[in-house]
Structure 1
Amino acid sequence: MGRGDLSDDQWAALGPLLPVAEVGRPSVGRRRLIDGIRWRVRTGAPWRDLPTEYGPWQTVYGLFRRWQRDGVWSAVLTGLQARADAAGLITWDVNVDSTICRAHQHAAGARRDGQTQKEPPGGDAAEPDDHGLGRSRGGWTT
């Protein structure tokens, strides 16, 4: 187990929230793939730089994207939040900040019509048409 990998207790809490594979080979290495996804999200490294201990990067990326399109990540987050809220571990205080969120310079090259991409943007909710990048005095902002 790597430094940032899930502990047995964490996996016991997360495992029941994950979808069960209906067809295909049994998911023997699902925990390893989840740890690979967590490594990539935590470090921000390119998918191709994923350490080999987590499996082929294409397999890890494929699982990440499939679950992103199917809304699995949102369901897992909701399930974990519901469990923590029932245990009294969450304080639902909201802090609203009126500052501007700056966009990264690479965000400026995205397609205006995401559906024409080879693989359309994922997620379980469609992005409203009026959301996007705009020009301000400080550069590209959201």
Structure 2
Amino acid sequence: MIVTHRVWLLLPRLPLPPHVHGRTILGRARMYDRRVINGMVYKISNRLPWRDLPDRYGPWQTVYTRFRRYSVARCLHPGTPTDPCPG
């Protein structure tokens, strides 16, 4: 894993999307946040295209979508976001 347990505990809690019994409204099981965050770190540190992200981080589309949502809401920037971060 790229994000160690110690670092994971320091990250702000990212909100979850609306869900029912562990699944999103669309019926898909939610991908673990830690796995997705590790995918983001791996992609950035290795300067890979999104499509070349290894399968162990989940579908590249999922990692990209969350990265985009968190970036637009400034959840990944230092400091506190002005609006609640999307799930």
TM bucket normalised to smaller: 0.7 to 0.9
SS in 2 for 1:72: coil
Q: Which of 71, 75, 87 in structure 2 is aligned with 1:72?
A: 75
Aligned to 1:55: 58
Q: Is 1:8 aligned with 2:9?
A: no
Give, in angstroms, the shift of residue 40 of structure 1.
0.5
SS in 1 for 2:6: helix
Q: How many residues align?
A: 73
CA distance in structure 2 between the partners assigned to 1:68 and 1:32 by the alignment: 17
* Deviation sequence 1:17-62 (CA, Å, 0-9, x none): 1321141337551000000000001011100000000000000000
Q: Which of 37, 41, 46 in structure 1 is aligned with 2:49?
A: 46
Higher mean alpha-carbon deviation, 19-28 vs 62-71, is at 19-28
Asked if 2 retains the 8 angstrom alpha-carbon contact of 1:40 and 1:50, the reply is yes
Q: Which of 16, 20, 36 in structure 1 is aligned with 2:39?
A: 36
Asked if 2 retains the 8 angstrom alpha-carbon contact of 1:18 and 1:72, the reply is no
TM-score between both structures, scaled by the size of structure 1: 0.47
Asked if 1 retains the 8 angstrom alpha-carbon contact of 2:43 and 2:53, the reply is yes
Gap regions ≥5 residues in structure 2: 25-29, 81-87
Asked if 2 retains the 8 angstrom alpha-carbon contact of 1:33 and 1:54, the reply is yes
The list of structure 1 runs, each at least 4 consecutive aligned residues, that deviate by more than 2 angstroms after superposition, is 24-28
- What's the RMSD between the two structures over aligned residues? 2.0
Looking at CA atoms only, which structure, 1 or 2, has the larger radius of gyration?
1
CA distance in structure 2 between the partners assigned to 1:47 and 1:28 by the alignment: 17
Gap regions ≥5 residues in structure 1: 80-142
Q: Which amino acid aligns with 2:63?
A: V
Give, in angstroms, the shift of residue 69 of structure 1.
1.2
